[in-house]
Amino acid sequence: MTVKKAQPVYDVVVIGSGAAGGMAAWNLTRQGVNVLVLDAGERFDRAKFWTHVKPWQAAARHERGQYAPEFHLSIDEQPYLTPDDKPFELIRVWGRGGKTNIWGRVALRYSDVDFEGPARDGWGVPWPIRYKDISPYYDKVDQFIGVCGGLDDQDSLPGSQYMLPAPAPRCGERLLQKAAQNAGVSIVAGRRAVLTKPHNGHPACHYCGACGSGCDVGAFFNASDYLIDPALQTGELTVVDNAVVARVLVDDKGLANGVQYFDRKTKAERRVKARVVVVGASCVDSTRILLNSKSPAYPNGIGNSSDAIGRYLCEQTRFHVYGFMPELIGGPVYDDSGIGGEHIYMPRFNHRDGRKRDYLRGFGMQFWGCGAQEGASYAKALPGFGVDFKKAVKQRYPALVALHPYGETLGRAENRITVDANNVDMYGVPRLKIEYQIGDNERRMVEEMYDTAEQILRSAKAEIMPYERGWLDKPGSAIHEHGTCRMGDDAKKSPLNAFNQMHDVKNVFVVDGSAFTTASEKNPTLTILALAWRATDYLAGEMKRGNV
Amino acid sequence: MSEKQNILNRVDSRRTALIKIATAATSAAIAPLLAETSEAEHHLHEMLEQAPAAVETGPEYFSQGDYATISRLADLIIPRTETPGAIDAGVPHWIDRQVAADLKLQGRFKEWLAELAEEAHAAGGTQFTALTEPQQIAMLQAMSGDVSKLKGGFFETMKDLTVENYYKSEAGLAQELGFKGNTFRASFPGCTHPEHWASAEHTQ
């Protein structure tokens, strides 16, 4: 006699295993909550990373038909739609830890300059939280994942007493700091989630600088090693790999009661049951799932009575300007790998000292790529050829500096993600459509972003590489999507409350970048971690109190 | 034959291949390794793995004549000096492979090479490679100076491909530029120059 095993009902099903889903799973399981994580891919094997493969070795390996592990989801597998005149570069990592496997590791706290933005200038809806609400969680995240940085906080860049030692700036970065200061612009130590000493059982960075290939020792935060693994050790976590979630399912009372997904290998449809659903599949994929979760109770997507889900998509504007520092041209070459990426950061300053500006919100600046790099693509922009050209390239090799301003974009209802019922993916699930473009406010801010970059380079007396003023990187390229399921106190305007809980559906929480009320100019991961921790603390409490 | 001799023999036969592709500096770097045969074998194996296979296999896409032209152009863009040049770094090989994998590039190269051959004819040569070096340089200067043809044109494409491939090769990146990164370090010293620190605070 065979007895069909009853399908388990999990306390919580978490969609996604990156910063958002990983944090939710970790924080709930350690509090004794039984969790199922659905991840759209598999674990990335650190032993197979090409961390220590030099460019010429990579070329030779490619010739032998060998390739590095592919982190990025192929567009061929999951195409998305964009209007012809509005390109959007969507970068997704499906697999344990998601994008944290290869993220930029810039770990900046939002400040009240950010949280008070919409309340102050009236654009969009106010954030339902302030810095005081999230700062205890930033402190916990800093301590848990390990963030290196300086004790040089600013009103727009709060810090903590838990920073690991900041790596010393490279020569070019140091000279940029000095030049900026002379121009009245302050550049501080970067805040990066890289371990400059061993931390919580994870080894220290060995300064190879190859983080973009995945860290072979896990010396920077990734959600797989830092969150999912310890969560598995509690015995409360189950992970299903290759689970491409399509919809959140609801009961006849309008509460969520499970999730429908498709097995990426067999394409088979599966359903799991849970008392609570936490959505953390990254901004764009979470939005797709919510909009596809249609039912009689929620004809335009679960929890979407506000019609705000999918709207107000924010990315960030950014561009890149390069120069050569005169003090370093023709000088010695050092190993500038450091912790990979910049050791410095320019916090937002445009709100200070009664500065007049003809746009809302602000910008910061990053500086990855200063000093000797693993290549010399700048050589393409140097004139001529032959012996003199070769010499010019070599002389500039140690002197390169790179400036990357990032500007906030305003949330606009027409910048939106929709799903197209007439255009389905391989599982028969409606595909994503992204319509996004920046507006006049962004273009005006970009003027000052260019002014600032030029000001710093001129103050440095740098040889500035030719650039086209006003050029912007492709929308989506910052990989900082936010705002399509925003938090806010007014249920008519925001799908989520101050604890990332749906106003309409109390047992659904959305904890990734889609929950951000505004995008700010900052990299979102640290704030995603803090918000997800805070939201799941609240959720665990509500479950204990019997409210969810 | 002892194990050691056996390895040395193998080293010797591989060296023939290596010499064609390696610069004097690389060959010199092999010498100390011979003292430790097993290590030598290991390192040599690694070096051979990393070395471009251009010399043995020849062009995959270009005809021998066109390959000679591409090689000459790459050589003129990044010549051998006291450090290796584009040819030493196997740049023509990599360009050949890139063009072989790109139908669009194939069409453009076909046009460009025909145009270049015509111009070489006009300059009195049977082909570009038959011109004198000053003639070749003059032609390249004209190409690089013609702003109307520069963007996406033959010169810019050849220069981009040469630069890309040369500065990612061991010869270009490690030997010429002095890249020392992607290694294990216990600490990172950063900027240690007092003159770079003078007169402004580290941070404020």
Q: What pTM, to 2 d.p., does this model score?
A: 0.91
Q: Are residues A447 and A545 in the same domain?
A: no
Query: Å from B2 to nearest chain A CA?
Result: 32
Kindly report, residue by residue over B3-39, the tens digit of the pLDDT: 333 333 333 333 333 333 333 333 333 333 333 333 3
pLDDT of A165 = 97
Domain containing residue A237: CATH number? 3.50.50.60
Q: Do A208 and B184 touch (CB under 8 A)?
A: yes
Number of structural domains chain A divides into: 2
Mean pLDDT of chain B: 78
A526, A109 Cβ separation under 8 angstroms: yes
Tell me whether residue A182 is in a domain: yes
Q: Are residues A82 and A94 in the same domain?
A: yes
Distance CA A23, CA A231 (A): 9
Of B169, B178, B185, the CB nearest to A206: B185
Q: Are residues A261 and A370 in the same domain?
A: no
Structural domain spans, chain B: 3-50, 56-176
Chain A contact set for B188 (CB, 8 A):
167-168, 207, 337-339
pLDDT of A3 = 61
Query: Å from A406 to nearest chain B CA?
Result: 21
Q: Are residues A101 and A118 in the same domain?
A: yes
Say whether A477 sits in a helix, a strand or coil: coil
The answer to whether residue B164 neighbours chain A at the CB level (below 8 Å) is yes
Domain end, chosen from A429, A459, A474, is at A474
Chain A contact set for B184 (CB, 8 A):
206-208
Chain A contact set for B190 (CB, 8 A):
167-170, 174, 338, 343
Chain A contact set for B78 (CB, 8 A):
385, 389-390
CB-facing half-sphere around the CA of A316: CA atoms within 13 A? 25
Taken as a whole, chain B contains a residue count of 204
Of A178, A327, A337, the CB nearest to B181: A337
pLDDT of A368 = 98
Domain containing residue A329: CATH number? 3.30.410
**For testing contact with chain B, the best of A49, A50, A52, A56 (most B CBs within 10 A):** A56
Helices marked H in A110-240 — which ranges?
A: 112-115, 117-121, 131-145, 171-182, 223, 229-233
Q: Are residues A453 and A533 in the same domain?
A: no
ipTM: 0.91
Query: Å from B92 to nearest chain A CA?
Result: 14
Distance CA A161, CA A171 (A): 27
B41, B7 Cβ separation under 8 angstroms: yes
Q: Identify which of A228, A227, A220, A223 has the alpha carbon closest to the alpha carbon of residue A204.
A: A220
Q: Are residues A401 and A379 in the same domain?
A: yes
The answer to whether residue B104 neighbours chain A at the CB level (below 8 Å) is no
A71, A262 Cβ separation under 8 angstroms: no
Distance CA A423, CA A445 (A): 37
| A32: its two tokens | 């004794």
A 316-355 → B contacts, CB under 8 A: 327, 333-339, 343
A98, A214 Cβ separation under 8 angstroms: no
Distance CA B118, CA B154 (A): 14
Chain A contact set for B172 (CB, 8 A):
376
Q: Do A374 and B182 touch (CB under 8 A)?
A: yes
Helix then strand count (H, E) for chain B reads 11, 0
Confidence of residue B56 (pLDDT cuts 50, 70, 90): low
Alpha-carbon Rg for chain B, nearest whole angstrom, is 22
The answer to whether residue B147 neighbours chain A at the CB level (below 8 Å) is no
Q: Identify which of A494, A536, A492 has the alpha carbon closest to the alpha carbon of residue A516.
A: A494
Tell me whether residue A201 is in a domain: no
Distance CA B33, CA B49 (A): 17
Please provide the DSSP assignment of A263-330 as one string.
ETTT--EEEEEEEEEEE-S-HHHHHHHHHH---SS-TTSTT-TTS-TT-S-B-EEE--EEEE-TTTTT
Maximal C-alpha separation, chain B: 70
**For testing contact with chain B, the best of A195, A385, A389, A459 (most B CBs within 10 A):** A385
Domain end, chosen from A474, A501, A529, is at A474
Distances from the Cα of B66 to the Cα of A16, A422, B125, B155, angstroms:
52, 50, 15, 15
pLDDT in tens, chain A (548 residues): 556 677 899 999 999 999 999 999 999 999 999 999 999 999 999 999 999 999 999 999 999 999 999 999 999 999 999 999 999 999 999 999 999 999 999 999 999 999 999 999 999 999 999 999 999 999 999 999 999 999 999 999 999 899 999 999 999 999 999 999 999 999 999 999 999 999 999 999 999 999 999 999 999 999 999 999 999 999 999 999 999 999 999 999 999 999 999 999 999 999 999 999 999 999 999 999 999 999 999 999 999 999 999 999 999 999 999 999 999 999 999 999 999 999 999 999 999 988 889 999 999 999 999 999 999 999 999 999 999 999 999 999 999 999 999 999 999 999 999 999 999 999 999 999 999 999 999 999 999 999 999 999 999 999 999 999 999 999 999 999 999 999 999 999 999 999 999 999 999 999 999 999 999 999 999 999 999 999 999 999 999 999 99
The dihedrals phi and psi of A245, each to the nearest 5 degrees, come to -75, 135
Helices marked H in A166-274 — which ranges?
A: 171-182, 223, 229-233
| A6: its two tokens | 């009853």
A166, A196 Cβ separation under 8 angstroms: yes
Q: Are residues A328 and A279 in the same domain?
A: no
Nearest CA in chain B to A381: B160
Chain A contact set for B48 (CB, 8 A):
none
| A136: its two tokens | 């205890």
Bridging pattern class, strands A316-318 and A400-408? antiparallel
A372, B178 Cβ separation under 8 angstroms: yes
The answer to whether residue B170 neighbours chain A at the CB level (below 8 Å) is yes
pLDDT of B200 = 54
| A205: its two tokens | 């960075």
The answer to whether residue B138 neighbours chain A at the CB level (below 8 Å) is no
Chain B contact set for A210 (CB, 8 A):
182
Q: Do A174 and B167 touch (CB under 8 A)?
A: no
Q: Do A167 and B188 touch (CB under 8 A)?
A: yes
Of A168, A389, A394, the CB nearest to B188: A168
Q: Are residues A470 and A323 in the same domain?
A: yes
Q: Are residues A399 and A301 in the same domain?
A: no
B 58-97 → A contacts, CB under 8 A: 76-79, 81, 85, 94, 97
Q: Are residues A74 and A119 in the same domain?
A: yes
For the beta carbon of residue A221, count every other beta carbon within 10 angstroms. 30
A177, A186 Cβ separation under 8 angstroms: no
Query: Å from A239 to nearest chain B CA?
Result: 34
Domain residues for A34? 7-49+68-140+222-315+477-548
Distance CA A513, CA A222 (A): 17
Q: Are residues A268 and A125 in the same domain?
A: yes
Q: Do A178 and B191 touch (CB under 8 A)?
A: no
Query: Å from A384 to nearest chain B CA?
Result: 7
Tell me whether residue A401 is in a domain: yes
A 44-73 → B contacts, CB under 8 A: 52, 54-57, 59-60, 63
Tell me whether residue A425 is in a domain: no
Domain end, chosen from A430, A456, A474, is at A474
Nearest CA in chain A to B193: A171
Chain A contact set for B179 (CB, 8 A):
333, 372-374
